[in-house]
């Protein structure tokens, strides 16, 4: 049995998994963000609450493991930033521990039991507060030891003109320190930033997509530019990876019509001609971070 955790900046969601398709959720607790001892104590409490002693702990987390050093890069949970988290937790808890980025775990879940089931190459993307992604090839993460595969949200790639007719779009500064990253416009905060720049209005992302669906003129203009900006790098990612399906998760994925509009725009831009949707809504009904963590744990520790 494996304990699967989805750790974010505000909450830790837990489950115990007897197999990849037998997962029982255990609830959620607040994430200790600044005190590593409290962080470990919280995880120990989750382990103690499991119905039987687990064989391993597998974690989906809002951070990235540097492939060269093995250390975490995690701004949302400062107490684990810079740590070799898997080794530190394994020592503290007396269990084997695996750790992977939450977008990677999302992609694993969609490849295993969601929209990507049956596809050899699955590129799972997140359009939430920001932009993320994970790449799964033949059922396994492309970056199995950590790293940045699938992180299409970063890189100075955005166009400076977009929409029909074209509008000039500034390159905004990204949290990674660069300018012009997809993350600066692709997520909810980015969409709000883009709308402000184009229309001079301060509007919540939900207001913008609702206005778009309702025919609001300024929202229509912003979303036209947004789809044009996001579709180009997404098409490039598909060409580079050979992905045959791209499940989309995150808050913006639920905006009516958005995934279909992106699919139409992307399929016009990729080399492979496909007469079915490629960009599709995520289908995993259980928490995808937990499912992905469980799949990763069973794969790494071979307990199935």
Please name the helix (run of DSSP H) or strand (run of DSSP E) that holds residue 64, with its range, or none.
strand 64-65
The pLDDT, as a whole number, for residue 2 is 94
Question: How far is Cα 147 from Cα 154, in angstroms, rounded to an integer?
Answer: 13
Contact 296, 7 (CB under 8 A): no
pLDDT of 302 reads 62
Task: Tell me whether the omega of the peptide bond preceding residue 76 falls within 30 degrees of 0, making it cis.
Answer: no
What pLDDT does 304 receive? 44
Token code pair at residue 284: 């995993």
Which domains occur in the chain, in start order? 2-105+285-301 (3.30.420.40), 118-281 (3.30.420.40)
Measured from the Cβ of residue 53, the count of other Cβ atoms closer than 10 Å reads 10
150: left (phi over 0), alpha (psi -120 to 50) or beta: left
How many angstroms separate the Cα of 76 from the Cα of each of 9, 30, 56, 80, 102?
5, 13, 24, 9, 13
Distances (CA, A) of 110 to 114, 123, 153, 239: 4, 9, 19, 20
| Interacting residues of 80 by C-beta distance below 8 A, sequence separation 6+ | 36, 39, 61, 63, 72, 74
Select from 236, 131, 124, 209 the least CA-distant residue to 174.
131
In a structure prediction context, what are the per-residue pLDDT tens digits for the chain, which is 304 residues long? 999 999 999 999 999 999 888 899 999 999 999 999 999 999 999 999 999 999 999 999 988 998 889 999 998 899 999 999 999 999 999 999 999 999 999 999 999 999 999 999 999 999 998 999 999 999 999 987 778 899 999 988 999 999 999 999 999 999 888 999 999 999 999 999 999 999 999 999 999 999 999 999 999 999 999 999 999 999 999 999 999 999 999 999 999 999 999 999 999 999 999 999 999 999 987 789 999 999 999 988 865 4
Sheet holding 97-101, edge to edge: 22-30, 11-19, 2-7, 56-61, 97-101
Tokens of 196: 């402000």
End-to-end CA distance of the chain: 9
CA–CA separation, 17 and 37 (whole Å): 26
Single pTM value for the model: 0.93
């Amino acid at each position: 049995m494996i304990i699967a955790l989805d750790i974010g900046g505000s909450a830790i969601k837990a489950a115990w998994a007897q197999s990849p398709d037998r997962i029982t959720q255990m609830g959620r607790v607040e994430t200790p963000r600044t005190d590593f001892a409290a962080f470990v104590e919280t995880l120990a409490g989750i382990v103690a609450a499991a119905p039987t002693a687990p064989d391993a702990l597998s974690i989906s987390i809002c951070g990235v493991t540097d492939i060269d050093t093995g250390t975490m890069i995690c701004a949302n949970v400062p107490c684990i930033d810079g740590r070799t988290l898997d080794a530190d937790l394994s020592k503290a808890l007396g269990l084997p521990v695996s750790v992977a980025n939450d977008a990677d775990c999302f992609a694993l879940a969609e490849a295993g039991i969601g929209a990507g089931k049956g596809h050899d190459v699955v590129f799972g993307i997140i359009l939430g507060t920001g932009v993320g992604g994970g790449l799964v090839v033949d059922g396994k993460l492309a970056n199995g030891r950590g790293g940045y595969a699938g992180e299409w949200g970063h890189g100075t790639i955005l166009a400076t003109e977009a929409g029909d007719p074209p509008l000039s779009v500034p390159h905004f500064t990204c949290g990674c320190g660069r300018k012009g990253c997809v993350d600066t416009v692709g997520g909810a905060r980015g969409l709000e930033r883009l709308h402000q720049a184009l229309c001079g209005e301060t509007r919540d992302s939900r207001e913008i997509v609702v206005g778009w669906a309702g025919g609001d003129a300024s929202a229509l203009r912003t979303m036209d530019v947004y789809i044009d900006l996001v579709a180009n790098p997404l098409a490039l990612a598909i060409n580079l990876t050979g992905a045959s399906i791209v499940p989309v998760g995150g808050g913006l994925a639920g905006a009516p019509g958005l995934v279909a509009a992106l699919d139409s725009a992307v399929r016009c831009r990729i080399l492979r001609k496909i007469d079915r949707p490629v960009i599709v809504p995520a289908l995993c009904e259980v928490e995808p971070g937990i499912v992905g963590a469980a799949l990763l744990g069973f794969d790494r520790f071979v307990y199935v």
